[in-house]
Amino acid sequence: MKVILDTNVLLSGIFFSGPPYVILKAWQEGKIEIIVSEDIIAEYQRVAEELSQQFPSVDIERILELLTIHTEIVDTKNFQATVCEDPDDNKFISCALAGKSKIIVSGDKHLLKISGHEGIQVLKPREFTDKYFK
């Protein structure tokens, strides 16, 4: 199953427990495949650097390196979605389209609002874990 993770879901899974952590554990165990684009990786990196100042004991660089090695990186230049109220969120829809994924895991209200666009479901982390890992 190919899945796109919103930045907050990924980073919550790294820094905290709960459904986002369960999702990353499923990825580590090979139960899901995470799809990313260059734009998403850049956002992960930027936000992780900000958070790592608050949590210096977490080796965020190693985690991001693993992500870039063990994820499918898709080229989104032919899939430029413009459907989100927040233009910064379009990169997740573009990635889903380019990577042929039908699931984005996010708690972002703008992404949740467009769930169903092009057959792509946007699920909150708990909804996703309840649906696929219970």
CATH number at residue 37: 3.40.50.1010
Does residue 94 fall inside a structural domain? yes
- Of the pLDDT bands very low, low, confident and very high (cuts 50, 70, 90), residue 52 is confident
Does residue 134 fall inside a structural domain? no
List the strands of the sheet with 72-74, edge to edge. Answer: 72-74, 33-37, 2-5, 103-105, 121-123
Please give the pLDDT value at position 120. Answer: 96
Does residue 113 fall inside a structural domain? yes
Structural domain range at position 44: 2-129
- Residue 40 to residue 6: CA distance in whole angstroms: 8
- Residue 27 to residue 70: CA distance in whole angstroms: 9
| 4 membership: H or E segment, kind and range | strand 2-5
pLDDT at residue 58 is higher than 80: no
Q: Counting runs of H as helices and runs of E as strands, what totals does the chain give? A: 7, 5
Predicted confidence (pLDDT) per residue in 3-39, tens digit: 999 999 998 898 888 999 999 999 999 999 999 999 9
The number of domains in the chain is: 1
- Residue 58 to residue 78: CA distance in whole angstroms: 36
Tokens at residue 115, please? 């769930």
Please give the pLDDT value at position 20. Answer: 96
Predicted confidence (pLDDT) per residue in 86-126, tens digit: 999 999 999 999 999 999 999 999 999 999 999 999 999 99
